[in-house]
Amino acid sequence: MGREFLNIMDPEDVKKIIKNIPINKRVENISLENSLTRILADDVHATINLPPFRRASMDGYAVIAEDTFSASEDEPVSLKLIEVVGAGDVPEKNLVKGFCTEVSTGAPVPEDANGVVMVEFTDKNDGQIIIYESVAVGQNITKEGSDVMAEKLLLPSGTRIMPDKIGVLSAMGMKKVPVFKKPRVAIISTGNEIISHDEELAYGKIYDINSQTISSAVITCGCTPVHSQIVKDDYNSLREKINEFKDLDLILTSGGTSAGTGDVLREVLDDMGEVLVHGVAVKPGKPTIIGRLKNGDDYKFLFGLPGNPVAALMVFHVFFAPFLRKMASINVSTSFPYKNVLELKLSRRFRPARGRTHYLLVKIEDGSAVPILKDSGAITALAEADGFIEVPKNVEILEKGSIVEVHSLGGLINPII
């Protein structure tokens, strides 16, 4: 009865296999309004000068600077006001010596003006502006293109579009931006005992946990979960579904990976393609499987998670999430480089599994990491957990007070949603 695992692999070797999986990226143009958190798929160059015209950087009076050179508190200069130009207005009159134009911050300055006297250094008197301080040539005027010259590289391909970068793209008047398409990932929950929340809970059945958990974890990696479905644990149902989903970017399954009676995923993968990994030396998560399927001239990959919900989520984060983010073009190291773990003291001594890398759920209490010592299938463990720690396989004891690195169960600290 049952089959053996192909060959229990070291987790580092599994990571290497995943790292070598080729990725096809696709690009789409989407409206700027919908681009928050997306990744630019092309360099963005300036399409206009910024500012697009010569403008006042202060409220005041545009002048011919030379007219003000002799001005002082004691011997002010008087200039005749010929026009008022607000922001958004267009100056209609040329300036000649002896005259000035009132301008607001951001307003265009008349062509012949070469300085703006700040309103604070002036007085108004019957159409005449009394000026108490001189301005230098160019003072309080922002030149066209002084911030950005058209064609300058503004944002390189790969930039994550956060609010500040939306500001940059808005300044160019961009309506559409080229971004990487979100990879589409099929989610399959296998198991004859699993029912959806639309069904009545009959004896012997349990509600499906993994399809929603893993779907939402996929979202936090910048991918789109599709066809999230429950599939019976039999050869034909599973093979049919996998075949149906082969055009998507990836298939993620959970369950059906143990070396037990009803576990047919391995068999399906053997027949449809090749099993690259079956069994990893980790706890929990040993029955993890990776298959490669021929699809035309191309290969498609299937990542099989354990059925146990805690194991599924941990294996997802440790092995598969980095690949999903890479598919989604999210370069974690060039994103805002916050440290992705929290360093805390362990609240008690912990003896990990021997010979396997151990992923341990912890909750954070009083600033310490408290191990959650429950069966790895326990939903209470998930309810209490704030994150998990990784204990390498050669560690025999983690002493109370050791510094551990707590990883978020939400995936990245900065989930890409």
What is the Cβ-side half-sphere exposure of residue 398, based on CA atoms within 13 angstroms? 26
- DSSP state letter for 65: G
Is 201 one of the binding residues for a second copy (CB under 8 A)? Answer: yes
Q: Say how far apart CA 310 and CA 303 lie, in whole Å.
A: 16
Q: What is the length of the chain?
A: 417
Q: Identify which of 186, 221, 220 has the alpha carbon closest to the alpha carbon of residue 324.
A: 221
The arrangement of strands across the sheet holding 115-118 comes to 115-118, 60-63, 99-103, 77-85, 128-131, 122-125
CB closer to a second copy, 115 vs 225: 225
Is 390 one of the binding residues for a second copy (CB under 8 A)? Answer: no
Is 387 one of the binding residues for a second copy (CB under 8 A)? Answer: yes
- For the bound state, the minimum distance from the C-beta of residue 258 to a second copy, rounded and expressed in Å, comes to 7
Is 383 one of the binding residues for a second copy (CB under 8 A)? Answer: yes
- For the bound state, the minimum distance from the C-beta of residue 119 to a second copy, rounded and expressed in Å, comes to 6
Q: Say how far apart CA 231 and CA 235 lie, in whole Å.
A: 10
CB closer to a second copy, 105 vs 157: 105
- For the bound state, the minimum distance from the C-beta of residue 52 to a second copy, rounded and expressed in Å, comes to 6
Please, which of residues 96-115 interact with a second copy by CB under 8 A? 102, 104-108
CB closer to a second copy, 273 vs 279: 279
Is 325 one of the binding residues for a second copy (CB under 8 A)? Answer: no
What is the Cβ-side half-sphere exposure of residue 394, based on CA atoms within 13 angstroms? 1
CB closer to a second copy, 138 vs 173: 173
Query: Of residues 23, 136, 379, 397, which one binds a second copy by CB under 8 A?
Result: 379
Please, which of residues 266-305 interact with a second copy by CB under 8 A? none
Stretch that binds a second copy, among 48-56, 179-187, 268-276, 396-404 (CB under 8 A): 48-56
Residue 60 backbone class (left: φ over 0; alpha: ψ -120 to 50; beta: rest): left
Query: Of residues 183, 273, 309, 352, which one binds a second copy by CB under 8 A?
Result: 309
User: What distance separates the 2 farthest-apart alpha carbons in the chain?
Assistant: 106
CB closer to a second copy, 276 vs 303: 303
Pairing of strands 60-63, 99-103: antiparallel
Is 258 one of the binding residues for a second copy (CB under 8 A)? Answer: yes
Give CA separation, 275 vs 155, 236, 257, 382, in Å: 41, 18, 12, 30
Is 370 one of the binding residues for a second copy (CB under 8 A)? Answer: no
Is there a cis peptide before residue 51, judged by omega within 30 degrees of 0?
Answer: yes
CB closer to a second copy, 186 vs 272: 186
CB closer to a second copy, 174 vs 370: 174
Write each residue from 134 to 153 as x if it is in contact with a second copy (CB under 8 A), else as -, in one continuous string: --------x----xx---x-
Q: Say how far apart CA 291 and CA 270 lie, in whole Å.
A: 8
Is 36 one of the binding residues for a second copy (CB under 8 A)? Answer: yes
Is 257 one of the binding residues for a second copy (CB under 8 A)? Answer: no
The amino acid occupying position 406 is V
